[in-house]
Amino acid sequence: MADPRRIRVIGIGSGHPEQLTGEAWTALSSVDYVVAARKSADDPLLQVRRRLCAKLDVPLVAVPDPERDRDDPADYAGAVRDWHAARVAAYADVLAERPGDVGFLVWGDPAFYDSTLRIVERLAATTGATYDVVPGISSPQLLAAAHRIVLHRVGQPVLFTTGRRLAGEVAAGHDNVLVMLDGALTCRDLDADAWEIWWGANLGTPGQRLVHGPLGEVLPRIEAERAAAASADGWVMDTYLLRRGASGAQVP
């Protein structure tokens, strides 16, 4: 009996070639093709994946991404489950038509706020494939390195959350918060005098942008830098650390 086909989930950091680890390059070179969602006709992040594949002559199969309700649906978890199921079905169709080992290229690290592993787990169960994961450099790591900071206070936790949950986490008393997936920049709704922010967009790329300071003072600059990044690169992904009453001192 032939060995089952393999699905490889590969973290690619920021998508810049220098951000891929040696293990990631080896994994990418081992697959017969890569499957990637196409979210628009001129999807800039798809083009980044395509350029990485081209370096190793690995074919990329672009799959139109199923529609998803992103306007804060009443049943958020249900909307996500439906979207995942539609993705699994679309990718299963591709695997049924094309033999060989398959790669999925994931921004940052697959462990952080990304649905690929949940989808691949179901895809493997559907197709009989095995799968493995190659870690990538995450945006929290890149943010900390770019700002030369430690993400947590001495002996204290750091909470990872999304913009959608930020207000609730702050209300619950969290005062050292790493925020991802915040296209609305919801930190604007906080008490601007109480927080310090370390912000970064398109981290690890030539278009990286950084802002640090008291939230109330630097918000206009963050908004300007965010708009400039989107205009220059065609996309923007930002991450930031919020710390209540920070002194600026960093002690490991």
Q: How far apart are CA 113 and CA 123, in angstroms?
A: 19
13 and 108 in contact (C-beta within 8 Å)?
yes
Full set of structural domains in the chain with CATH: 6-134 (3.40.1010.10), 139-244 (3.30.950.10)
**Residues 220-242: pLDDT tens digits?**
999 999 999 999 988 899 999 99
**Residues 10-36: pLDDT tens digits?**
999 999 999 999 999 999 999 999 999
Q: How far apart are CA 64 and CA 49, in angstroms?
A: 15
189's tokens:
């709704």
Closest-CA residue to 170 (of 134, 149, 195): 195
**Residues 58-113: pLDDT tens digits?**
999 999 987 766 556 666 677 778 778 889 999 999 999 999 999 999 999 999 98
Tallying the residues shown for the chain, one arrives at: 252
The amino acid present at 241, given as its one-letter code, is L
Residue 248 has pLDDT above 70, yes or no: no
Q: How far apart are CA 238 and CA 247, in angstroms?
A: 23
